[in-house]
């Protein structure tokens, strides 16, 4: 609590400005929870609440903030890829059930077990054993397994990596724009020659954004 008191006192005659920043409010709520009846007696819950302060690392480390933002931006395309991977495993699972269901029932006895076996193959964990057992039933079944590995394990995973990299780059660009806007805002408030440079930089930034929006429209 002494930490919060010192930080509020640092604002001098305007202590209310302390609560204008979200992370300050977050710290105040987390630390203030210690004095709430019913919470201070619950040591486990109190420890969990205090651990939430680790979330502040997101604001302290810019690279971590970019990474988390990139992960969030990648969620929609990753969800679409998850649906595609499920359909692929379902189709191959149906074929595998028909091919090996009678001979290898412990792995291909039903569609669910077949899909689980293919998910194991997708991780490339012991897939050569599955291949060998399948070829004992149908010698040409290597075509089935190799095609699945190439499409699912290699192609989909590489596409997933590309999606994450692209989302991270977009997040990095957004973070760069926000930092630039913050510097321009601070320079504008300073006034004088720095303010004029800030105004020029703002116009250049607006022009750049207009060009990017035009490029996006032309792609569509």
Fold of 63-219: Helix Hairpins (1.10.287)
Residue 94 binned pLDDT confidence (cut-offs 50, 70, 90): very high
CA distance 169 to 126: 35
In this prediction, residues 159-165 reach a mean pLDDT of 85
pTM of the model: 0.59
For the chain, which residues make up each domain, given as ranges?
Answer: 2-59, 63-219
Residue 92 is predicted with a pLDDT of 92
CA distances (Å), origin 60, targets 29, 144, 218: 19, 50, 38
Residue 220 is predicted with a pLDDT of 55
pLDDT for residue 17 is more than 70: yes
CA distance 100 to 122: 18
Residues 6 or more apart from 206 whose CB is under 8 A from it? none
In this prediction, residues 124-141 reach a mean pLDDT of 86
Question: By three-state DSSP, how is residue 190 classified?
Answer: helix
Q: Do residues 197 and 185 touch, judged by C-beta distance below 8 A?
A: no
Summarised one tens digit per residue, pLDDT across range 42-67 is: 656 666 666 666 666 666 666 777 77
Structural Rg of the chain based on CA atoms: 28
Summarised one tens digit per residue, pLDDT across range 163-190 is: 888 888 888 877 777 776 666 666 666 6
Residue 152 is predicted with a pLDDT of 83
Residues 6 or more apart from 188 whose CB is under 8 A from it? 195, 198, 199, 202
Angle between helix 111-122 and helix 127-137 axes, rounded to 10 deg? 130
Residue 193 binned pLDDT confidence (cut-offs 50, 70, 90): low
Residue 165 is predicted with a pLDDT of 86
Residue 41 is predicted with a pLDDT of 63
pLDDT for residue 91 is more than 90: yes
Q: Do residues 205 and 180 touch, judged by C-beta distance below 8 A?
A: yes
Residue 95 is predicted with a pLDDT of 92
Residue 1 is predicted with a pLDDT of 63
Mean pLDDT, the chain, rounded, equals 77
DSSP assignments along 72-107, one per residue: HHHHHHHHHHHHHHHHHHHHHHHHHHHHHTTT-HHH
Residue 5 binned pLDDT confidence (cut-offs 50, 70, 90): confident
């Amino acid at each position: 609590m002494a930490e919060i008191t010192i930080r509020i006192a640092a604002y001098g005659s305007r202590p209310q400005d302390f609560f204008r920043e979200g992370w300050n409010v977050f710290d105040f709520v987390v630390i203030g929870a210690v004095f709430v009846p019913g919470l201070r007696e619950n040591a486990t819950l109190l420890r969990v609440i205090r651990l939430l302060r680790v979330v502040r690392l997101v604001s302290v480390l810019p690279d971590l903030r970019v990474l988390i933002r990139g992960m969030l931006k990648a969620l929609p395309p990753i969800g679409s890829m998850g649906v595609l991977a499920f359909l692929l495993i379902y189709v191959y699972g149906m074929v595998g059930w028909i091919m090996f269901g009678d001979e290898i029932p412990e792995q291909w006895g039903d569609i669910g077990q077949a899909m689980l076996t293919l998910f194991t193959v997708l991780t490339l964990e012991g897939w050569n054993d599955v291949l060998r057992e399948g070829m004992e039933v149908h010698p040409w079944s290597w075509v089935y397994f190799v095609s699945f590995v190439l499409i699912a394990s290699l192609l989909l995973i590489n596409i997933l990596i590309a999606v994450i990299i692209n989302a991270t780059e977009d997040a990095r660009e957004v973070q760069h724009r926000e930092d630039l806007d913050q510097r321009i805002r601070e320079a504008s408030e300073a006034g004088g020659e720095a303010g004029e440079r800030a105004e020029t930089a703002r116009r250049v930034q607006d022009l750049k954004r207009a060009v990017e929006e035009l490029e996006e429209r032309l792609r569509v």
